[in-house]
A = this chain, B = another copy of it.
């Protein structure tokens, strides 16, 4: 692999940063192009790449592929570049459990347009998801097997937003979910995750 992957991103949204974490974890060279919202993301040039008009998307000049949907991009990157299975399992049932948790994450993604009208319902949903994760992590360090996989990493940006999405009124006390809290701390302590969250902080404040 020689040429950097192009990651189409937005400063604020969680999903492009989810992909950046996987790129960092796997040591894949990449360049980020930040698009303006909505003009560039909904514009002709970008929607020729991604007809859905959302970020992220990637161009991989090494294979010629253009791909969108963060979950599909993550599985592509792992399939193609994680040759030592650092972030995945190639055995069954583990590889399917990873998919299960990735899909669960996708399904519970924050949909920016669907948010503010129903803060209370949204807060309850965040609580419910946190509890499902907390229970799944009972006696375990990671969701699948005994190592950090892309299933775990797919929750990092969700976890970073979760405390803020519920508003002051419906604030969640994450101390009530000790397995979840320890897991998030474990994920956030990884050098690749730290780097990406710092990069995000930088572009958001810059």
Contacts and interface: CB of A to CB of B under 8 A. Distances in A.
A51 interface: yes
Interface stretch (A4-12, A98-106, A170-178, A187-195): A98-106
A85 interface: no
> Would you call the interface of chain A mostly helix, strand, loop, or mixed?
helix
Interface residues of A, number: 38
Contacts of A68: 100
A117 interface: yes
B125 A121 contact: no
Contacts of A99: 69, 71-72, 75-76
Contacts of A71: 99, 103, 106
A52 interface: yes
Interface in A57-112: 63-65, 67-72, 75-76, 79, 92-93, 96-97, 99-104, 106-107, 109, 111
A75 B96 contact: yes
A102 B104 CA distance: 13
A100 B51 contact: no
Nearest to A138: B51
Nearest to A95: B79
A113 interface: yes
B69 A104 contact: yes
Given A67-B96, A69-B99, 20 more contacts: A51-B135, A52-B104, A53-B132, A63-B92, A65-B96, A67-B93, A71-B99, A71-B103, A71-B106, A72-B96, A75-B96, A75-B99, A76-B99, A79-B96, A103-B106, A107-B109, A107-B111, A114-B114, A114-B121, A117-B117
6 contacts: A51-B135, A67-B93, A68-B100, A70-B103, A75-B99, A106-B106
